[in-house]
Chain A
C-alpha cells in the first residue's frame, strides 16, 4: 500500500468532456434557459420532457436598472458557458434589452457549443413554444450523447468552495479539512474559488498573509470593507442576520467567529487575486477570492458562472443546497447533523472531532470524493433533483 506521501506525490487525473473553447466539463448537460421570467413555464415543461435536461428559471430579465440587467445577462450566459453544459436551448417570450435570445446566443456562441433558440411569440404562443423547444432539445441531447470523456489533469479543474448553515464544527473541522483538499488541488495545478465576502469580515489578517502581493492584500481589505460600509449605510445592527439564526443555534456568536471559521476553507495556498461576482479567474494555480454575498445560492451561482465544474459545500447544521449545473458535494463535521441530514449530506467528517481522523486524512477523503464526482459519481442531491442553489445576485433595483 502506498504511503500518504507517495499518494500525494502523484498528480491526479480525471475524465471530462473537452469543450470547443478548451474548458473541460464533468457533466454533459442540455441546458434549457429562460431569458426572462415569462419563459419560465415553457422552460419547465421542456426540461420535464427531455432526459437529463437542466432548467434554469428565474424572476428577472425585465425592468431592471442597467447594471443589474447586465449582471443578470452575465450570470445567465455564464450558466451556458460553464463547461458542464454541452448545449443550450434559450427561450424568451417577446423582446427585452440584453436578456433576449439573440444577444444571449451571440455571447454564448463564444464558447463554440451547441445553441438553439425559441421566441414564444414568434412561434405562436406557449404551446407551440414548448413543442419547438422540446424538439430542438431532443436533437441536441441526442448529439451530446455521442460526446466521450477524456483523461485530463487536475490543472483543468476550477474548484468551488462554499459553506452554509455553519456552526462551530465548521470552523474547526469541515472547513480546515476542505482547506487541506484545496491545497492538494492547487499543488496539482488547479484553482479554487473562495467567496462570501461579508462572511470574511474579521478574517482579513489571516487572508492577507496568503496574498501573493501587496496589491492583492489591499484588494482583500478594500472589498470586504466596501461590504461593511454598505452595512453601516443601513444604520442597522447585523446581529440576527449575520450570524444567522441557524449559526447562532449552532454556537456561533459573532460575525468575526463565523468569518474566521469560513476562511479556513481556503487552506494555506497563495491567494492570487480578488475578482468580481461571476468573473473568470486567472490561469495561475492558487486561490481566487470572488466578491459574492453570503447568500448561499447567489454565492455558488457566481462561482458556477465563472466556470467551476464542481463545488464542495461545508455545512455544520446540514443543508439542502445544490447547484443545478455544478455538482455540489456536501460535507459535515457534526455527528448530529450527519445523522439528521444524511439524505442530502454526502460525507461524514465527524471523525475529526471524535479524534479518529486527522484534518489531513479528512482532506484526502474529500479529495477522493471530488475526483470520483468529477468522473461521474452523482451526489445525493443530484439524484434527488435538489436544485436549490441557483439565484442571481442583484446590484440594482427592480424598476
Chain B
C-alpha cells in the first residue's frame, strides 16, 4: 500500500483533508481519496504535517466540514488546494468578541 499523504475523515461530506506528510510543497499534485475515488489535488502553498488542505471549492461564510461536522466558517473564498487554517477560517463557538452584549462577571 502506498504511503497515504492526506486523509479525509468523512469522504462524502468533508471539504478539507489532513496532510500526513512532512514534504508537501507548493505546486505538488497529491492523491486524496474522497467521494469514493482517489483524486489529484494540486496544493497552492507549502502545507505542514497535520495541517489542512481544501478539497472542494469553499465560498466566504460557508461551513468547513471535518468529521462530517462543522469546525467553523470560511472567512474568505478558498480554492481547492489552498492551505486551510486560522488565516482563512474562524470558529463560531466561544466568541466573546461577538457577544459583547453578554459581557459581565466571569464568576
The residues of A with any CB-CB pair to B shorter than 8 Å are 167-169, 171-172, 198, 201-203, 205-206, 228-239, 242, 248, 250-251, 253-257, 259-261, 316, 334, 336, 353-355, 396-397
CB pair B107–A202 under 8 Å, yes or no, is no
A-B contact count (CB 8 A): 126
Contact: B18 with A251, CB < 8 Å? yes
Interface size class of B (residues with CB under 8 A): 35 or more
The distance in angstroms between the C-alpha atoms of A122 and B9, with both chains bound, is 63
- Whether B71 lies near A260 (C-beta < 8 A) is yes
For A206, the chain B residues whose CB sits under 8 A away are 67, 69
Is B50's beta carbon under 8 Å from chain A? yes
Within 8 A of A (CB), among B77-107: 84-86, 89-100, 102-107
Contact yes or no, A253 B93, CB < 8 A: no
Residues of A within 8 A of B67 (CB): 171, 206, 260-261
Cβ of B39 < 8 Å from any Cβ of A? no
Set of chain B residues within 8 Å of A397, measured between Cβ atoms = 107
Interface centre among B3, B71, B94, B103 (most CB of A within 10 A): B94
Asked whether, in the complex, the Cβ of B93 is within 8 Å of the Cβ of A202, the reply is yes
Assess whether B72 is in contact with A355, with CB atoms less than 8 Å apart. Answer: no
Given A198-B94, A256-B71, do A172 and B18 touch, yes or no (CB 8 Å)? yes
- Enumerate chain B residues within 8 angstroms of A169, measured Cβ to Cβ: 50
Most chain A beta-carbon neighbours within 10 Å: one of B1, B50, B69: B50
In the complex, the chain B residue whose C-beta lies closest to that of A198 is B94
A233 touches B104 (CB 8 A): yes
B58 to chain A, nearest CB (A): 13
Minimum CB–CB distance for A196 against chain B, Å: 14
In Å, the complex CA distance between A232 and B106 comes to: 8
